[in-house]
Amino acid sequence: MKDGNARDDKVTAPEKDYPPGAYAWYVVLVLMVVYVFSFVDRQLLALLVGPIKADLDLTDTQMSYLLGFSFALFYTVLGVPLGRLTDTRSRRTIIAVGLGLWSLMTLGCGLAQRYWQLFLARMGVGVGEATLSPAAYSLIADYFPPRRLALAISVYGMGIYLGAGMAYALGGVIVSRLIEQGGLTLPVVGTLRAWQAAFILVGAPGLLFAGLLYTIREPLRRGSAGSNVPTASVKEVARYFRVNWKAIACHNVGFSLLAFVGWVNFSWIPAFFQRTYGWTTAETGLRYGGVIFVFGSLGILSGGVLADWMAARGYRDARIRAGVAAALLNCPFALLYPLMPDGMAALALVAPTTFAVAMAFGTAPAAIQEMMPNTMRGQASAIYLFAINLIGLGGAPTAVAWCTDYLFRNETHLRYSLALVGFPACLLAAVVLIAGLRPFRKTLEALGN
């Protein structure tokens, strides 16, 4: 018994009924590789703020719309219907189509000559990537028993940090070389600027990997007893959300605030190092990319391990507790790293803030799978992703840019914008998640978990 909240020993289906462990982990590996492509294509833009601003004569606020709003607009709008599609159609086909689409749209970013063209291409990337995570979460939940789910989703989620790290590290090297060469000349297309060529080079490989999704099988869709069940109607989903609104709202809002902090960092830390400490694109990409690659990956794995460890010791609300730990751990670092006197000291504090934020994003989707009937998982995951991308990706880049453009009125004061926006969001995330612990436990009890 842990604080009166001990779990029962039973699971939703006998573990022998799940697919073999080795094959299940292969599925996770394939999905993680696709997630890597997703974040390489998504995050390259943050490294290219300087050259794109210069070439297209943009403000930080205009860049923030490219970094966040343009991508999040259709990602969030289409996420819910795509989530419903996930509950009724082949999940691997949905992901394969999405991978092809966002790769093509990344190529479109490289061909853009005007701000509005780049904006539309980024919207297209968001449409494609909206197909991925609801389907991936649903697949993983049907391949792994509940006691191993947080770790499995955390391994999939490593794609965020492997992909972002590669986008920064390799992107920095590629862009620096392209700048030295004066761009890239392609048949028919002609000569492209360095930032345009970078999008072409990272977007093309994704088209070659869409077929990889067909090496994985669709598993049995598991209900409360581990059997195939029909998809819940929109009315049934709405009724379930009304009954469990406290647990769902605290989960979605709390983790969205942590996502907000993550997108503050992802979107503006490269420009912060370049403006504040005079780092080059290559230096920024290699150093920050290395931190993301290592500490982000370790963080998301640690969050999953921590949640599963607490769950094994009797905490029904282990997935939410792990989110609380992530928010509280991140608070001091979110405040201090932008204020450091030199770049390497700032980078040393960026490492733990990266680790702390990452902890939440294996355990958060695992909690969704745990608190929802199988027939609603795709739709619930899509609503969760709607919230974290609307609040996090849609809001964070612009909140920082507004502070820089309209409060401080000086792009070299970006460091103060980062501290002013990130730290309060961490505190509020902790408060909201703590408020959601008891409702989350009640929701699990009602499901018999």
* Residues 6+ away with beta carbon under 8 Å from 58: 52, 115
Would you state the structure tokens that stand for residue 50, as one six-digit string?
């300087």
- The rounded distance, in Å, linking the Cα atoms of 21 and 349 is 37
Of 262, 247, 251, residue with least CA distance to 359: 262
CA distances from 146 to 329, 372, 403 (A): 26, 12, 43
- The rounded distance, in Å, linking the Cα atoms of 228 and 70 is 38
- The rounded distance, in Å, linking the Cα atoms of 52 and 199 is 12
- Domain 16-218+231-447: CATH superfamily, name plus number: MFS general substrate transporter like domains (1.20.1250.20)
pLDDT value at residue 370: 85
pLDDT value at residue 100: 92
CB distance 388 to 329 below 8 Å = no
Tell me the whole-structure pTM to 2 decimals: 0.80
Domain ranges of the chain: 16-218+231-447
SS3 content of the chain, % helix, strand, coil (to 5): 80, 0, 15
- The rounded distance, in Å, linking the Cα atoms of 247 and 244 is 6
Would you state the structure tokens that stand for residue 83, as one six-digit string?
């989530």
Would you state the structure tokens that stand for residue 308, as one six-digit string?
């599963």
- Tell me the one-letter amino acid at 398: T
CA distances from 294 to 212, 287, 327, 361 (A): 26, 11, 19, 15
Of 269, 278, 299, 437, residue with least CA distance to 360: 299
80: left (phi over 0), alpha (psi -120 to 50) or beta: alpha
Q: Return the SS3 of 185.
A: strand
CA-based angle 265:139:257, to the nearest 5?
25
Q: Which residues of the chain have pLDDT under 70?
A: 1-16, 222-231, 448-449
* Residues 6+ away with beta carbon under 8 Å from 297: 158, 161, 162, 165, 358
CB distance 443 to 367 below 8 Å = no
358-391 per-position pLDDT tens digit: 998 878 888 887 888 877 877 787 788 888 888 8
* Residues 6+ away with beta carbon under 8 Å from 9: none
pLDDT value at residue 231: 64
CA distances from 408 to 146, 231, 267, 293, 404 (A): 48, 51, 18, 32, 5
Neighbours of 207 (CB within 10 A): 15
- The rounded distance, in Å, linking the Cα atoms of 53 and 59 is 7
29-87 per-position pLDDT tens digit: 999 999 998 888 888 888 888 889 989 999 999 999 988 888 777 777 777 777 778 87
Q: Which contacts (CB < 8 Å, 24+ apart) does range 283-288 have? A: 283/172, 284/47, 284/168, 284/172, 285/47, 285/168, 285/169, 285/170, 285/171, 285/172, 285/173, 285/175, 286/168, 286/169, 286/172, 286/173, 287/347, 288/168, 288/347, 288/350
Q: Return the SS3 of 119.
A: helix
Would you state the structure tokens that stand for residue 251, as one six-digit string?
């989960």
